[in-house]
Structure 1
Amino acid sequence: MTTRRLHLDTFTLWFEAPFVMALRLHEMQLAALTGKTQDPTELSRMVSEKIAATAESAMAVNMALWRTGFDNAVRLMTGGGASLGLGGTAIAAAALKPYGKRVRVNARRLSRKTS
């Protein structure tokens, strides 16, 4: 993954996450003002998705770290030099991907739901 792609993914997540939060808060406020009960599925989804994304992100980061370390070990054993900075982008991308995927899906779903 290129650094440019990582910047784009980070920027997109930076804008979409508050949008999803605003849509969910809007639903909660409407339910409170109209006296309706909160949507238990949505409330449960808010928590369970974060737990799942955190676990997936931790696993992806560990795999990216392992891959970078393995690539450096092979490079050193074959006479090349270790690439100290090349794995950082892949590791950061691996950490963001699970969150970005869920935020994009939620943004689409919630924006259709309220319109």
Structure 2
Amino acid sequence: MTTRRLHLDAFTLWFEAPFVIALRLHEMQMAALTGKSQDSTEINRMVSEKIAATAESAIAVNMALWRAAFDNTVRLMTGGNASFGLGGTAIASAALKPYGTRVRGNARRLSRKSS
């Protein structure tokens, strides 16, 4: 994973997350204004997706940390030098990926729903 790709992923998530929040708030506001009972499916989805993304992100970060540590161990055992910054981009990418995937999916789904 390149640093450029990490920046693009972070930038995209930074813009798409507020968009998803705005779409969900609009949906809740319209339900309140029309007197329609609030659909609990979307609220349950919001919570469960955040929990799942957090767990997936933690696992992915731990795997990326393990890979970086293993690569450094092998490098040291074969006479090379340790590279302390080697896995930083991969670790950050692993942390962002689960959130980005869910936010992009929600943005597509909610924008189709409100059209």
Question: TM-score of the superposition, structure 2-length normalised?
Answer: 0.99
Query: How far, CA to CA, are the matches of 1:86 and 1:112 in structure 2?
Result: 41
Query: Could you say which residue in structure 1 is the equivalent of 2:82?
Result: 82
Query: Could you say which residue in structure 1 is the equivalent of 2:36?
Result: 36
Bigger Cα displacement from structure 2, 1-10 vs 79-88: 79-88
Matched AA of 2:39: D
Query: Could you say which residue in structure 1 is the equivalent of 2:50?
Result: 50
Query: Could you say which residue in structure 2 is the equivalent of 1:20?
Result: 20
Percent of residue pairs identical: 85
CA RMSD of aligned residues (A): 0.4
Query: How far, CA to CA, are the matches of 1:77 and 1:85 in structure 2?
Result: 18
Give the superposition deviation at 1:107: 0.1
Query: How far, CA to CA, are the matches of 1:81 and 1:19 in structure 2?
Result: 45
Query: Could you say which residue in structure 2 is the equivalent of 1:103?
Result: 103
Measured against aligned partners, the alpha-carbon deviations of 1:25-75 in whole angstroms (never above 9, x if no partner) come to 000000000000111110100000000000000000000000000000000
Q: Which runs of 4+ in 1 moved over 4 A?
A: none
Query: How far, CA to CA, are the matches of 1:94 and 1:79 in structure 2?
Result: 29
Query: Could you say which residue in structure 1 is the equivalent of 2:4?
Result: 4
Bigger Cα displacement from structure 2, 2-11 vs 77-86: 77-86
